[in-house]
Homo-oligomer: A and B are copies of this chain.
């Protein structure tokens, strides 16, 4: 059985040895170990891919032992994840189709190891793409008055379908705190600027106005503060005075697609850990 273990705790001597020793005693083989110490915060992070080949291996038994033998004494927060089943990813979109097309193409090609139970949108525009890819599309309009009701519908769909994480593929609405609370560090947004520059609306216009020579895109986990959550991935591309705002937007689309797809993959492979509103991204 292939597993991924994520651990963080206050740093101290002997943790690696203790954890690898425990896995060894459970007849597991550490295939990959990545570790990091945030020296400012004095926090230890570790990600282990381990393989347990023993036929009667019990994950319940492993968890119990790990908790009492290690986690309790080291004060660890930790989790163990099996490779199957694939996590369920809900997509929220509005009117822009480039990130949706990109993610669905990757999904369809088997590049993304997820299930997509449905797409939610506050508009009907992208329904044809959902149909192209044979996926359920829920049109949930959001107005001032319908906001609460819309949230209820969204939450119900998420719950009924057992959604594991949410991807905002250029969803142009603010996600409610109720949903953020249900999915802490499990909602991935793509912002069309090199954050923290140009947070908020119309970043390409602001970048053009400022006369920057490079534009960017940022994928981050959604927190209650707008565009201020832990950054997962960023990328940039050069621009010049020859580019109009329209050119910025067109160049930006390619950045957004790539940066969002990379972030989704990192999340799916459990290569991200969040601490102090920052991410550790394992290699």
Contacts and interface: CB of A to CB of B under 8 A. Distances in A.
Contacts of A102: 102, 105
Contacts of A212: 195-196, 231, 234
Nearest to A29: B13
Contacts of A60: none
Interface string A185-199: 000000000111110
A152 interface: no
Contact of A14 (B24, B232, B238): B24
Interface range on chain A (Cβ under 8 Å from partner): 35 or more
SS of A interface (majority): mixed
A32 B37 contact: yes
Contacts of A281: 213, 240-241
A195 B230 CA distance: 20
A211 interface: yes
A279 B241 contact: yes
Nearest to A109: B97
A-B pairs with lowest CB-CB distance, top 8? A211-B278, A101-B105, A197-B197, A17-B20, A13-B29, A213-B234, A241-B280, A17-B24
